[in-house]
A and B are shown apart, each in its own frame.
Chain A
């Protein structure tokens, strides 16, 4: 038993024997332990892939009529069974599909030799229980392989959430413009205050038109209002039409399969794209899972989605994602849900829209497989705004994670739908978006916003940066939009009248394009040239390596060019900013005679191209510390540049051989330093600072002092590297490579050492 502990505080003796040891307390304190983990409990529906209460798949057809579905005879069909039985299955394929062994079906899902169309044909004849059983067999990598093959649209894309706590129109417009500029092809907004909805829809519509052409808009509110906004052309799609896997929960949600089927047609009749929403966990949260597995219940939802004629499904947990994530194999279940949608030949909007863990690792682990496989929409709402401003609740990825996401696209060479936007362009689109929004609100007599408010909205990273705003003005603007019967035509006219002709033209063109109806087909988005990409126009043709979607060379360059990337020339100009009129050559360096003479050997580019170490301390400042340290201990230093090698050991040894004392200090421009002695092998040394980024001025002074102590024949306590828990290599390796290239560019084989001036170093 440990009597002394480090980290996590002390463990009192005797009084609290239940308290775990520090190692366990340290583990307990990690963020992942804020997450809830549920014991599997089939009775409650807390089971991911298979429950003992799931039915055996079966289908009995009599005279072209389904008389038994997954163990339920027709007389006992609930409304979900009844709708699927009457409309959801292709009975010409069902004998074949149901007779196929689970293993054979699963293999065909994964095999690149079985085309997507064949899987779609078979799946149309398979019952919900059959598809659940087959998908439960797939291992994670197989789910990914199948998803790559089975998504409907060849080109993947992404959807953003744009909301804020205040429903501030200028901020919504600026954020919507930003999201569009980043490449999101759908923007979904919602409200903390229901009455604000028309204003949010309008502000986001204007902002999106500033940011890019062809972005689809959604305002997620209660059905009647959402439909009304769509009918007026302020929004262009809907996705929060919920389906549930049990009749009880469906009815608790105040709908039936028939009411949802009708609503689906109602949206289409007004020319609006729509998808339905389902996903694991909803039934469990409403205590209505009837002991079934999440995957089986979702299989019913997806079969119903197809049966009612929806073109797509948003699933993968959605509001219940953390319920699925709390049980064993829950993340597999979430991905299988998306895949099931693809098998049913529908658009997949693949969840990832609810923060399912407090742990960065777990939330990344949840999303990454879908990014790698590629989906019609990677997220059914990437929070393009900060977590606190997300009125859907934080998404699994948010504004905090955009740079991470861009780096992940680049790391894997995958297209997650986003791109880097230069800082100046972000400012421009935010300003244009906010200004256009202000102009339209003013022109239509909805509200007036001050210059101060506008500037804050442009600059804001979130609504907390806005200061006090007039939220009542938003409510009354929204009321005026609704009661005045404002349509997209009024918005186009207002933009045109206030000097935003290009934006007016964009919305006009989008309105025309929507009337052609092509975007009502499965998986449809508009690209930035307003071409429809869908199952029809851009079908996924993956058939193994070398086929299917691959970013074009142009798109790949866009993915690769994140704003943080640096090359040698970037570093050269950065170093040049620290150049100073110091370290001039005073002549050839000759061997010293004085026993107190210590030589500081510097690398070839020091005083030429390299002026600042990785630690941020300038090279002259480091030299000043080394010289001061030498002086403190009674030695005199000389600074000598060696141009025939970049190797620090050789530089240090050559310095030692020049020094009267036989002791030298080697210093590379990046800040790595060592003490050498003339009789040692090149790769040996007396003391070494290998972690250049973390070396401080004090440590360089100590190295100088220790070199002097060695020169006087002493045995000093060696200076130690300052280690840290930071990803030092990740931060600095690219810079090291570029710095070494600058050093190598100054190498001249056989060049004699040069003594450098110490003037100005103290």
Chain B
């Protein structure tokens, strides 16, 4: 349990500043509603300490994904659906993500490329 103290939104704004007054002043936008990657990393540590390394890994992947735009996230999801991508496309996507500092997501895509090729799940 970490609570709200010290928590920031993706915009960098302290969560404590998300108030009705701030809404009235028209200061808040979508980035103020988004979770911060550090928050997800902290939660990952909590999950790992409570016997769920897989949930921790998921939260760490999520921390990486906070850097991508919504459309890009949805595009990668679509590329991972069966019959959408060649193994090459998936490994290219993976390489791009690795380059941009999303190693865990990149690994997920590389693994998918390998298994999809073997199981006939590629385009």
Contact = CB atoms under 8 A, between A and B. Distances in A.
Q: Specify whether A and B are partners.
A: yes
Interface of A: 78-79, 82-83, 86-88, 90, 117, 120-121, 124, 223-224, 227-228, 231-233, 247, 251, 254-256, 258-259, 261-271, 306-311, 345, 487-489, 492-493, 496, 501, 504-505, 508, 511-518, 520-522, 532, 535-537
B51 A345 contact: yes
Given A266-B77, A496-B24, A517 B39 contact: yes
Contact of A521 (B20, B47, B54): B47
Contacts of A117: 51
Contact of A345 (B7, B30, B52): B52
A261 B57 CA distance: 10
B39 A262 contact: no
A549 to B, nearest CB: 19
Interface in B1-28: 1-4, 7, 9, 15-16, 18-20, 23-24, 28
B99 interface: no
Nearest to A492: B23
Contacts of A520: 40, 43, 59
Contacts of B32: 489
Nearest to A505: B20
Contacts of B62: 265-269
Contact of A82 (B43, B46, B108, B115): B115
B74 interface: yes
B65 A258 contact: no
Contacts of B1: 518, 532, 536-537
9 contacts: A121-B51, A231-B70, A258-B80, A270-B70, A271-B35, A308-B54, A309-B59, A345-B50, A520-B40
Given A251-B121, A493-B23, A515-B7, A521 B46 contact: yes
A256 B112 contact: yes
Contacts of B35: 269-271, 514-515, 517
B42 A517 contact: yes
B55 interface: yes
Contacts of B63: 269
B16 to A, nearest CB: 8
A172 B111 CA distance: 44
Given A309-B57, A492-B23, A512 B52 contact: no
A265 B68 CA distance: 12
Contacts of B112: 256, 258-259
Contacts of B115: 79, 82-83, 258
Secondary structure dominating the interface of B: helix
A268 B59 contact: yes
A228 B70 contact: yes
A508 B28 CA distance: 11
A156 to B, nearest CB: 19
Nearest to A87: B54
A518 B3 contact: yes
Contacts of A120: 51
A522 B33 contact: no
Given A258-B108, A264-B58, A309-B59, A227 B74 contact: yes
Given A269-B73, A309-B61, 11 more contacts: A120-B51, A258-B111, A259-B82, A261-B58, A262-B80, A269-B64, A493-B24, A496-B20, A508-B20, A518-B1, A520-B59
A518 to B, nearest CB: 6
Given A79-B115, A489-B28, A518-B43, A265 B58 contact: yes
Nearest to A261: B108
Contacts of B53: 90
A267 B62 CA distance: 8
Contacts of A79: 115-116, 119, 121
A256 B50 contact: no
Given A258-B80, A306-B54, A517-B42, A269 B66 contact: yes
Please name the 8 residue pairs, one residue from A and one from B, whose CB atoms are nearest each other, closest first: A309-B58, A271-B35, A268-B62, A269-B65, A259-B80, A258-B112, A265-B61, A269-B62
Contacts of A536: 1, 46, 50
Contacts of A517: 2, 7, 35, 39-40, 42-43
Contacts of B65: 265-266, 268-269
B52 A256 contact: no
B23 A256 contact: no
Contacts of B111: 86, 258
Contacts of B64: 265, 269
Nearest to B8: A515
Contacts of B19: 508
B58 A308 contact: yes
A251 B56 CA distance: 27
A310 to B, nearest CB: 7
B100 interface: no
Contacts of B74: 224, 227, 266
B123 to A, nearest CB: 13
Contacts of A535: 50
Contacts of B77: 223, 259, 262-263, 266
Most buried by A among B33, B39, B119: B33
Contacts of A309: 54-59, 61
B42 A492 contact: no
A250 to B, nearest CB: 8
B78 to A, nearest CB: 8
Contacts of A267: 62
A265 B105 contact: yes
B92 to A, nearest CB: 16
Nearest to B16: A512
Contacts of B119: 78-79, 82, 247
A229 to B, nearest CB: 12
Given A516-B3, A520-B59, A508 B30 contact: no
A757 B118 CA distance: 99
B2 A518 contact: yes
Contacts of B108: 258, 261-262
A493 B28 CA distance: 10
Contacts of B59: 265, 268, 309, 520
B82 to A, nearest CB: 5
A163 B80 CA distance: 32
Contact of A487 (B2, B30, B39): B30
B116 A256 contact: yes
Contacts of A489: 23, 28-30, 32-33
Interface string B101-122: 0000100110110011001010
Nearest to A508: B20
A503 B34 CA distance: 21
B36 to A, nearest CB: 7
A269 B60 CA distance: 9
Contacts of A508: 18-20, 23
Contacts of A78: 119
Contacts of A532: 1
Contacts of B46: 521, 536
B76 interface: yes
Nearest to A124: B51
B38 to A, nearest CB: 10
Given A262-B77, A522-B55, A515 B36 contact: yes
Contacts of B23: 489, 492-493, 496, 504, 508
A254 B81 contact: yes
Contacts of B61: 262, 265, 268-269, 309
A269 B64 CA distance: 8
A221 to B, nearest CB: 14
B20 A307 contact: no
B105 A262 contact: yes
Given A266-B77, A487-B33, A511 B47 contact: no
A255 B40 contact: no
A251 B81 CA distance: 8
Most buried by A among B23, B42, B108: B23
Contact of B40 (A269, A307, A513, A514): A269
Nearest to B84: A259
